[in-house]
Amino acid sequence: MSTLNSSGPQTADAPTPDDAFHEATGLDARESQPPHGSGDGDGPVLAADGRPLKQSLKRALRAQKLRALMLIAPLLIFVLVTFIAPIADMLFRSVENQIVSDTLPRTTQALAGWDEDSGAMPPDNILAAFTYDMVAAAERKEHTRLGTRLNYEMTGISSLFRKTGRRVDDFGETYLDQFEALDPAWEEAKTWVRLMGDPDWLAANADWAAEADAAGRDFDKPAPPFELKPGIAAALPETADAYAEFARITQVEDEDNPAEEEPWAPVYLALFRDLAKQPAPDFAALAAPDRALLAPAAQAVPDFETVALADLYIKADEDWADPEVWKTIKAFSPDYTSGYFLASVDLQKTVDGVSAQPEDRQIYMLLFKRTLFMSMVIMGSCVLLGYPIAYLLSNLPMRTSNLLLILVLLPFWTSLLVRTSAWKVLLQQQGVINDILVWAHIVADDARLVMINNQFGTIVAMTHILLPFMILPLYSVMKTIPPSYVRAAKSLGATNWTAFWRVYFPQSVPGIGAGCILVFILAIGYYITPELVGGTTGTFISNRIAYHISSSLNWGLAAALGTILLAVVLILYWLYDRLVGIDNVSLG
């Protein structure tokens, strides 16, 4: 006899494609084994379309998973774009430092071998590399961004780069004048382009220029990218490098033809340095016209008037004589740096290692401690104020509790700025609260309480703003607690306090946990209310992050501060899970 009750409800799970797949797999395995004493068994079970059942079920499962993936794809893409991608970008910005190496590629390579303990400016070879980088950066308008970046590490570098960027294109004029006096051909753009340009590029560029002249303003065909002549870089390495940079910027940034533009003065500096090297450069691999141009120049270079690059930089700004400037450039030459994270904990990265920030710049650890402390106080205040309100709402008749719940939700219908501004009116020394205290003779008129632009004002305003986020989870949990439990405890002899503390309160703990998490996470990231009512002692670390994003534009430091704040929140979340248990959090 069957033990199943055919009249009762069916409690067995419905068959799924997975069950059929496993059953078919087992069936195939059984049928693939020959019976005892016989030859090969029958073939696999076939589906209606003639395919093996196992293969058909695999296709069905694959199609089912693809449909499920398509259903969640919009949400997955939304989370990736709005949550994962910004966090990944923040983590990258907190260590990214490529602006120095990208803007000063020659300088960073040359500084690697410089002895920063010499107490003097770098030698001419490093200053020459810096000159080529600076004139290119000034033409691309990137030297100010680089100065701003390094100014985060050493105050004053930003103005140093701005001033020098306006003058660096004159560095080398002494040699420009002497080369032109030696041979007027050096003044002509076609001399340079014929000396440096690849013959194939020269032909392509000439054709492009002819097409541009014929087409006029409607011509939008890009010019062929400049290419160096084979062998010229081996004979004149610095000159070829500097001129190639000039040609690329002339084409890309200025949208001009390098065959029609005289090179920068630093290109003549590079030519002088190449021709003055010992042993003398070898021109044997160059064509006869190039040798005829360069040989007289090489013979005349020893008699040229020279000028020290260090003197040119000191003349532009005497701060270049400070070795600390060059140490800062060298220290932040790598593509990735820990400097932002060190600055976030009041440390700084130097060539000599990690050291503490000056006392007048040690503010971030104080802000982190203040943020955590005040967030905890606000969370505790919301628990103390919200628990009785939620208890009252959950035990009143439904009609009355719904009416009072509307009053709890009413602040959500008012702008955050309006609510914060209202507290400024209430809490200021000539505000409503102080006027009432003076009228009631609780405080003297000349001793009004200072309740705004400090920590007290921030705590009061944020407690009022975040209180609904504590009440709602508590109310939703308390509403599910059966009143019969408390009545049963009282019927067994428990007092009102004992029944509440031993029976009711433990069941409301999940609501407290949910409210605490909501309030604390919101409080730790608030910046509008502390900015308006916090003054100098009531601001959070989030206010500093907002400042660096919108005002100082130090996004790297802002990203590092945000990353540390995120790490602190995750650690506290982990501790909460270990001590209380995230499973105990409930919204009812």
Residue 4 region by backbone torsions, left for phi larger than 0, else alpha for psi between -120 and 50, else beta: beta
Max alpha carbon distance in the chain (Å)?
120
Burial environment of residue 424 by CB neighbours within 10 A (0 to 12, 13 to 18, 19 or more): middle
State the DSSP H helix or E strand holding residue 156, giving kind and residue range, or none if neither: none
Chain center to CA of 468: 32
**Residue whose entry in the numeric block shows the structure tokens 């050493």:** 154
Residues in the chain: 588
Q: Are 508 and 478 in contact (CB under 8 A)?
A: yes
**CATH code for the domain defined by 366-584:** 1.10.3720.10
Q: For the chain, what are the domain ranges?
A: 51-93, 103-169+309-331, 173-303, 366-584
SS3 string, 326-389, reads HHHHHHCCCCECCHHHHHHCCEEEECCEEEECCHHHCCHHHHHHHHHHHHHHHHHHHHHHHHHH
**Model pLDDT, residue 150:** 92
**Model pLDDT, residue 510:** 87
Beta-carbon contacts of 508 under 8 Å, excluding residues fewer than 6 positions away, are 387, 474, 477, 478, 481
Q: Are 299 and 281 in contact (CB under 8 A)?
A: no
Of 349, 347, 345, the residue nearest 357 (C-alpha)? 347
Angle CA 482–485–491, to nearest 5: 145
**Model pLDDT, residue 372:** 94
Tell me the one-letter amino acid at 152: Y
Tell me the one-letter amino acid at 147: G
**Model pLDDT, residue 296:** 92
Cα Rg of the chain, angstroms:
38
**Model pLDDT, residue 2:** 40
Q: Please state, in angstroms and rounded to a whole number, the distance separating the CA atoms of residues 213 and 140.
A: 26
**Model pLDDT, residue 195:** 93
**Model pLDDT, residue 6:** 42
Q: Are 166 and 571 in contact (CB under 8 A)?
A: no
**Model pLDDT, residue 179:** 93
User: What are the residue ranges in the chain where pLDDT is below 50?
Assistant: 1-12, 21, 27-41
